[in-house]
Structure 1
Amino acid sequence: MKKLRAFGILTTLVVLFVLIQGSIVTKTGSGQGCGTTWPLCFGDVIPYNPTLETIIEYTHRLLSSVAGMLVLLLSFWSWKRLSYINEIKFFAILASTAIIVQGLMGAGQVVFGQPPLIMALHFGFSAISLAAVSAITLFTFEKSLTRTKLVVSKRFHWFIIAITLYAYLVIYTGAFVKHMGAATACTGFPLCSGNWVLFSEGTIVFAQMFHRLAGMSLALLVLVFAVWALRFYKTQRVLTMISLTSLGLIFVQLLSGVGMVFTYNQNLTIGLIHALTISLLFALFTYTIILTRRGSKEESE
């Protein structure tokens, strides 16, 4: 089990880095750093005299390929080794499917080009892959006879599912804003260039403001989740830790989002933090669904 656990941690870190790399590719406009050829780069196995954009795109391709092989191996290994965990088959299939679709979408973007609505899904599948691989890795820390669970009401369990799905929507809207080039459509916060502009100033402004509203709504939902958990389930240490962690992540998410606005989306570090925290939050809530599903029951609150 120790070997599988170590391999799971390694795979999670590699998938996480691929996600960050993908954000760097988008942020730096390096998606065509190898031209329109794939898997070759400008028709070569190793690019000759590459530019910075080529290096960024080429290394992203290489690491994505490594991540794909690691995820497939982890999925197969965990399926065999963790068969006593009911959820393992679903997450093994999910992790493998997500990483394959993610790779194919990346290749399709290079060769054929894709509209922002489709390209936003590329980052979405990266987040799903990270969530699935993280869940598998966390399974390796569970004992065969005492699976980790959280005893909560069915209503609270369904609320967590709703937050998780909504977090994915926020991920998608954020990726759409990036691929549309709408990250700098509005200056200032919370107003848009000093005005209460929502839906009447064109698609780019609409996308930016819709994402802002979605992000702030998610923050409120996470706050409700944390208060609910700390009030009614404070004796469950794992849920307390999850609640506090989710509050920390959503705070950093909001702060980095505002930071991107005031730096005109020119600070690479802030942009990466923004993409990273929402992905980690989605992964955290995905695992929380598993734990609460195991222990959900009808109870008075």
Structure 2
Amino acid sequence: MQQNKYMKWFAVGATIGMLLILLGGALVTKTDSGLGCGRHWPGCNGQLIPTVITKEVVIEFSHRLVTGAVSFFILGLTIWTWRRLGHIREVKFLGFLAMFFLIAQALIGAAQVLWGQGDFILALHFGISLISFAAVLLLTLIVFEVDKKFDADNVRIGTALKWHTIGITIYSYLVVYTGALVRHTDASLVCPDWPFCYNEDPFRLPDNMHEWVQMGHRFAVLLFFVWIAYITWIAVKNYKNQPVIYWGWVIAFILVVLQIIAGLFVVSTRLNLIVSLFHSLFITLLFGLLCYMILLVSRSEYSKRKND
């Protein structure tokens, strides 16, 4: 029991650390600090430890340090859960995903520093980090499930909710990508108004690529909101007797509303840094939650096949 307690604390630490990596990467992007250490990696401006300190150096170098430290944390969590909880069906796969995509995002970041990348490639960076975060989050939830504090093993998910869950999770990745593309193409403030690009002429089509990127993202978010609202309605109506499903989708709806509000304030505050980081935080938590709902779908299907 004591070992389970330590594992829980370690898992929570790894999850928080992975969240810091994601927000740190967002901070690097939003403050244009990606070249704070010049074209040098893993060193900084030709030194192992930088001696000339600027705001950009502090942000970029701190992000690298956090990524390095948390990587060992996640490796430790992966090994620990493999050894102690390897009998649980999802554990080894999630551990592999966490490490693989953590390394992938670090390599993309290094490639950007050393050689530069196109905007459409850079937009993948945040999404790849998201997959690693989701895997670590799911491992942490599995660690907490061992004590049976909540019943997530005996879920029963109908066909309609199953396909909606899979569809919305895949679609959420597209929404994330379009949002990252907005930032990397410098299209964040190309539209001065919200929800339309120009509220006085709401039916005006975008004039250039930047407006298309921005309004494409807003349209993707609108569809995302409507879809999650519909799924939440299904869950509230039909899954009151399964609290994990019921509350999971209620929380998902709350997070997508917060995400939209944050997006509104990103525009109205002209890219306020704190608001922008909350914008990244809400979509990170929402994507992690959607991946957990996918895990529950997988368990439901496995249980059905076993009972047939």
* Counterpart code for 1:224: Y
Task: Determine the C-alpha separation between the residues in 1 that align with 2:291 and 2:202.
Answer: 35
Counterpart residue identity of residue 35, structure 1:
G
1:170 deviates by 0.7
Residues 139-167 of structure 1: CA deviation (Å, up to 9, x unaligned): 00123897634211123112101111111
Map 1:34-113; keep pairs closer than 5 Å.
34-113=37-116
Partner SS for 1:291? helix
Structure 2 segments unaligned to the other structure (5+ residues)? none
> Which residue is 1:176 aligned to?
181
TM superposition shift of 1:84: 1.8
In the alignment, which residue of structure 2 is the partner of 1:210? 216
Identity %: 38
- Residue 242 of structure 1 corresponds to 248
2:275 match: secondary structure:
helix
State which of 104, 124, 129 in structure 2 corresponds to 1:121: 124
CA contact (8 A) 2:168 2:227 kept: yes
In structure 1, C-alpha distance between the alignment counterparts of 2:232 and 2:206, rounded to whole Å: 35
Q: For each residue in 1:106-126, what CA deviation from the matched residue of structure 2 results, as whole angstroms up to 9, or x when unmatched?
A: 111111110111111110011
Give how far 1:199 is off.
5.7
For structure 1, list consecutive stretches of 5 or more residues without a partner in the other structure.
none
- Contact 2:23/2:280 (8 A) holds in 1: yes
- 8 Å contact kept, 1:229–1:239: yes
**TM-score normalised to the size of structure 1?**
0.94
Tell me the equivalent position of 1:28.
31
Residue 144 of structure 2 aligns to a residue whose secondary structure is coil
> Is the Cα–Cα contact under 8 Å of residues 5 and 137 in structure 1 kept in the other structure?
yes
Once the two structures are superposed, what CA deviation does each residue of 1:260-299 show, in whole Å capped at 9, x if it has no partner? 111222x11110111111111010010111112212459x
Distance 1:183 1:114, change over 3 A: same
SS at match of 1:50: coil
Aligned CA-pair RMSD:
1.7
- CA deviation profile, 1:18-56 (whole Å, cap 9, x unmatched): 111111111110000000000000011111131111100
